[in-house]
């Protein structure tokens, strides 16, 4: 095969050392450590060998510091998925792996993975850390519920959410030593469905000392996590305002409020994400789409960015990157399988959650689409199909800067055929200049 990249190198990334190949000879492979000085030595050796482009696997998080160092040195770095660099069956060593990557890259057989810009990567770090804090807070909530149940304080039966206003006030009073169920029931919020008498019946506990201690520890942990989440929200808002403030046109954009969009308790509470997202995307209002929530927009902003979606030339490539389109396999003219490929990222999960919400709506364009697919193939397939449709809609809105404008009425297949037939008849009548009398229609 013809050599496409004359000055290409391949790197097998590891946790303790990196194997680098600039050719297929035994003397053209070297091993380098992972310390900063050794990474600089690796970069200088590549430059001394007149290497201009480098390919490496995306192995865990070990590639990130090396990737940044090579880019800063002026080299073109190609980050590849591991499934595209698998060697042929046989012996497997680090030396053979790096030589195989170098050979594939020299022949032009490797394609790079999608990588966001620096600003989007910073936002993604904040958002992923925030999601990790939310998961830890959820585990802490489950532990508090467990210790309350062991104390025989059945707060989870009379209160819908133990971390709400009523639940937190009661838990704090219990941790401070209050044992009177009538006094604990007085912390009931006016919106609580259960009465004070029923709440008091559920709060007659056994008062075990060790369980009260662990409950107080988990409560302190939960409060600390909420403070960390609030600080993370402040950092996210500051970063978004810095990116928006750099562009005067985006800074002056304004959108209408959306009170019908429910703000989940895990969504950022302090920032106006509706306004920030509208300015961030230069006047494209993604929250107009039914089913799209603040969490969906936050995932899109952190995983793709403002201009990252333009790296996908077509909507099909965008949905393929999300692994939302079927992976059809044909052999001998027969379709072997057409399943969606395995694997997902955070944006795919967010779109599937939005599609699941759309399935519970009524009389909307997307909910009609969801119900048609669910009737034929089931809800699971409908969630995937609607998530793909959402991805296509978002791609068109962000690429062409157009608002969300769904059709007012969905037309089924027989209605579409009828409409096309009527339009064709009208066109022929106008073309032949026919009168109603000539067609046999009675006129008054």
pLDDT of residue 409: 58
Residues 379-416: tens digit of each pLDDT? 999 999 999 999 999 999 999 999 998 876 555 567 77
Task: Verify that 266 and 389 share a domain, yes or no.
Answer: yes
Q: Of all helices (H) and strands (E), which one includes residue 336?
A: strand 334-339
pLDDT tens profile 206-263? 889 999 999 999 999 999 999 999 999 999 999 999 999 888 889 899 998 888 888 8
pTM (two decimals): 0.83
Q: What is the pLDDT of residue 394?
A: 96
What length does the chain have?
A: 444
Same domain, 392 and 270: yes
Q: What is the pLDDT of residue 418?
A: 84
Domain stops at, among 190, 218, 244: 244
Three-state SS for 387-407 is: HHHHHHHHHHHHHHCCCCCCC
In a domain, 57, yes or no: yes
Contact 199, 221 (CB under 8 A): no
Contact assessment for residue 236 and residue 268, using Cβ atoms and an 8 Å cutoff: yes
Same domain, 317 and 228: no
Q: Are residues 126 and 234 in the same domain?
A: yes
Q: What is the pLDDT of residue 333?
A: 85
Res 93: pLDDT: 87
As a whole number of angstroms, the distance between CA 278 and CA 258 comes to 12
Query: What does the angle CA 298 – CA 354 – CA 267 come to, to the nearest 5 degrees?
Result: 40
Same domain flag for 196 and 270: no
CA nearest 322: which of 355, 347, 354, 292?
A: 347
Q: Which residues of 177-209 are buried (b: 16+ CB within 10 A; e: fewer)?
A: eeeebeebbebbeeebebeeeebbebbebeeee
Bridge partner list, 54: 9, 77
Q: Hey, which residues does 78 pair with through a beta bridge?
A: 55
- 171-202 tens-digit pLDDT: 999 999 988 999 999 999 988 888 999 999 99
According to the model, what pLDDT value does residue 415 have?
A: 72
In a domain, 2, yes or no: no
Q: Which residue has the tokens 């804090």?
A: 133
Let me know whether 394 and 429 are in one domain: no
The confidence score (pLDDT) of residue 444 equals 56
Tell me: do 102 and 160 sit in the same domain: no
Number of domains in the chain: 4
Give the pLDDT score at 442. Answer: 61
| Same domain as 272, residue 332 | yes
**Would residue 111 count as lying in a domain?**
no
User: What is the β-pairing status of strands 29-33 and 53-57?
Assistant: unpaired
In this prediction, residue 408 carries a pLDDT of 63
List, in sequence order, the alpha helices (H) in 49-117.
63-72, 94-106
Residue 77 sits in the same domain as residue 171: no
How far the first Cα of the chain sits from its last, in Å, is: 80
CATH code (residue 187): 1.10.287
Domain membership of residue 94 as a residue range: 8-106
Identify whether 390 is part of a domain: yes
Domain annotation covers residue 38 = yes
CA 161, chain centre distance (Å) = 26
- The residues near 413 (Cβ < 8 Å, ≥ 6 apart) are none
Residue 126, pLDDT score:
95
| Same-domain status, 227 and 302 | no
Mean pLDDT by 10 residues, the chain (444 residues): 90 93 92 94 94 91 91 92 77 87 92 89 94 96 94 91 92 92 91 90 90 95 96 94 90 88 84 92 92 93 92 93 89 86 88 94 88 93 95 95 79 74 88 80 62
pLDDT at 58: 86
Residue 151 phi, psi (nearest 5): -80, -5
In DSSP notation, 207-265 reads --HHHHHHHHHHHHHHHHHHHHHHHHHHHHHHHHHHHHHT-HHHHT------TTS---T
Contacts of 112 (CB under 8 A, 6+ apart): 78, 79, 80
Q: Is residue 251 part of a domain?
A: no
């Amino acid at each position: 095969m013809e050599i496409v990249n004359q000055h290409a190198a391949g790197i097998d990334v590891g946790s303790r050392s990196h194997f680098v190949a600039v050719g297929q000879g035994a003397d053209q492979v070297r091993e380098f450590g992972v310390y900063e000085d050794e990474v600089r030595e690796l970069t200088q050796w590549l430059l001394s060998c007149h290497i201009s482009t480098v390919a490496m696997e995306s192995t865990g998080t070990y590639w990130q510091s090396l990737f940044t160092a090579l880019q800063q040195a002026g080299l073109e770095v190609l980050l590849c998925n591991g499934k595209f660099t698998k060697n042929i069956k046989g012996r497997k060593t680090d030396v053979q792996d790096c030589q195989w990557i170098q050979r594939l890259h020299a022949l032009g057989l490797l394609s790079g993975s999608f990588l966001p810009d620096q600003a989007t990567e910073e936002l993604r770090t904040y958002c992923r850390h925030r999601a990790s804090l939310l998961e830890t807070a959820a585990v802490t909530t489950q532990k508090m519920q467990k210790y309350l149940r062991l104390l025989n304080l059945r707060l989870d039966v009379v209160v819908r959410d133990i971390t709400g206003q009523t639940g937190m006030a009661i838990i704090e009073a219990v941790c401070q030593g209050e044992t009177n169920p009538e006094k604990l029931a007085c912390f009931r919020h006016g919106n609580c469905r259960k009465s004070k008498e029923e709440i008091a019946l559920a709060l007659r506990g056994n008062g075990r000392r060790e369980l009260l201690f662990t409950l107080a520890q988990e409560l302190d942990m939960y409060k600390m996590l909420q403070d960390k989440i609030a600080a993370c929200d402040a950092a996210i808002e500051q970063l978004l305002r810095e990116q928006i403030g750099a562009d005067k046109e985006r800074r002056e954009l304004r959108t209408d409020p959306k009170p019908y969009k429910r703000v989940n308790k895990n969504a950022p509470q302090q920032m106006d994400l509706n306004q920030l997202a509208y300015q961030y995307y230069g006047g494209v209002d993604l929250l107009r789409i039914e089913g799209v929530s603040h969490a969906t927009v936050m995932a899109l902003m952190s995983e793709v960015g403002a201009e990252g979606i333009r790296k996908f030339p077509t909507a099909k490539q965008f949905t393929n990157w999300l692994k939302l389109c079927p992976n059809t396999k044909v052999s001998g003219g027969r379709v072997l399988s057409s399943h969606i490929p395995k694997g997902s990222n955070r944006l795919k999960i967010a779109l599937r959650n939005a599609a699941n919400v759309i399935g519970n709506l009524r009389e909307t364009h997307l909910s009609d689409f969801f119900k048609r697919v669910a009737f034929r193939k089931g809800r699971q397939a409908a969630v995937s199909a609607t998530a793909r449709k959402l991805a296509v809609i978002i791609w068109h809105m962000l690429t062409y800067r157009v608002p969300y404008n769904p059709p007012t009425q969905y037309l089924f297949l027989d209605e579409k055929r009828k409409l096309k037939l009527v339009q064709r008849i009208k066109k022929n009548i106008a073309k032949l200049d026919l009168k109603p009398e000539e067609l046999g229609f009675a006129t008054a």
